[in-house]
Amino acid sequence: MTSPAPVLDLAAIRADFPLLGERVNGHPLVYLDSGATSQKPQAVIDAEVAFLTRSNSAVHRGAHTLAAEATELFEDARATVARFVGAPPEQLVWTSGATAGLNLVAYAIGNASAGRGAPASARLALAPGDEIVVTESEHHANLIPWQELAARTGAVLRHIPVRDDGTLDTDAAATLIGERTRIVAFPHVSNVLGIVNPVGDLVTLAQRVGALTVLDACQSAPHLPLDLPALGVDLAVFSGHKMLAPYGIGGLYGRSEVLEALPPFLTGGSMITTVTLDEAQYLPPPQRFEAGTQPVSQAIALAAAVRYLESVGMLAVHAHEKSLEARMGEGLRAIPGIRLLGDAAGAERVGLWAFDVEGVHAHDVGQFLDARGVAVRVGHHCAQPLHRRFGLTASVRASAALYNTPEDVDTFLDALSGVRAFFGAGS
């Protein structure tokens, strides 16, 4: 029998996050915008400050004591973050975030298509008529790089539609993913719908035709136990700032044989073995993809964020956020004039809901809530095609994290219940 996840000590956790003690517009802050960026615990802030004040030096470049110490901390951070996603260190490339990781992959495949790279790179090359399959629910970061790659190579971009309830149309996916499919890119969790997508089903469909799978794990890494090798994906990206870490750091996971086949994208120092005036030889992954000065203090802080999440326990985090999601969903359904996006019965979810308020623009809703100390996201959430699918240009999104409380949810719902009356759009 599986043991129940431990109950979180929310008072202790909240005390670890300095910003949560602030007041906004005269009200205690209710922060429900972690899907955009998370707050940082003091341990993460301290880890970055400690490096900058005691160990700051260039990594992989010097022979002096500080350089060796900085390099050791940097690579220890890689091992810590790689372990968090179930991978060995050599399968984790540092990036500035998920957007950079996705662009790295798309442009590297473009380089392979142009005949660059080792002999193994040829199997990644795209030809006119080859197909790249994405979903209708993509964040722009997992859509536009593939649009550009298709434009450069003559490949065809296709998309898996979303059903009315927000779930992916897996029947359509089985039809779309075929002999000409070379890449299947999709989100683990939609940043608008909050629904956990059927990774195993999509990976199986892709593997049957030998297609590469690319997973956007931005909205799952902070909220779910994550084992990327076990999921079977070839490549995956995540961002530190959504998982309690600073801006400017993220990770690209890749199976070793895939990373070894990818040609470099950015070039310069630190990713080479030998350089002449006419040519260069490149290091193996992950260093092959880490040209120039790296985000060292940010990587060390991301490792501290991972250790914090591990100390709480990802099963406990997920269970707590699932209870917040259920409370939020029930409350939203009870408010007249609220239309939930992705309200699929029985779907596995994270603690995130996007919705439309009848008769009130999303930005007005956000300002109304902000005046009461409640921070949410408004707009298209970098997912314009998905909003268009539901006949909207914008929505309101409330997203929870491990530090949110049931009282946060209740305060949000109470404030939201007065929006339509305030704007004369209903009771």
Residue 17: CB atoms within 10 Å: 20
Return the biggest CA–CA distance within the chain: 73
Catalytic residue among 15, 24, 50, 382: 382
Query: Are the beta carbons of 401 and 222 closer than 8 angstroms?
Result: yes
Query: Are the beta carbons of 327 and 408 closer than 8 angstroms?
Result: no
Both tokens assigned to 409 = 């949810």
Ramachandran bin of 218, using left for φ above 0, alpha for ψ from -120 to 50, beta for the remaining angles: alpha
Shortest CA distance to 307 belongs to which of 56, 76, 97?
76
Q: Does the annotation count 218 as an active-site position?
A: no
Instruction: Provide the β-strand partners of residue 253.
Output: 92, 236
User: How many Å is the Cα radius of gyration of the chain?
Assistant: 22
Query: Are the beta carbons of 320 and 6 closer than 8 angstroms?
Result: no
Residues 6+ apart with CB under 8 A from 3: none
Residue 271: CB atoms within 10 Å: 22
**32, 96, 239, 261 from 38: Cα distances, Å:** 9, 16, 11, 34
Name the DSSP class of 122.
G
Shortest CA distance to 253 belongs to which of 229, 241, 269, 235?
235
The Cα 183–Cα 409 span in angstroms is 39
What residues are annotated to the active site? 382
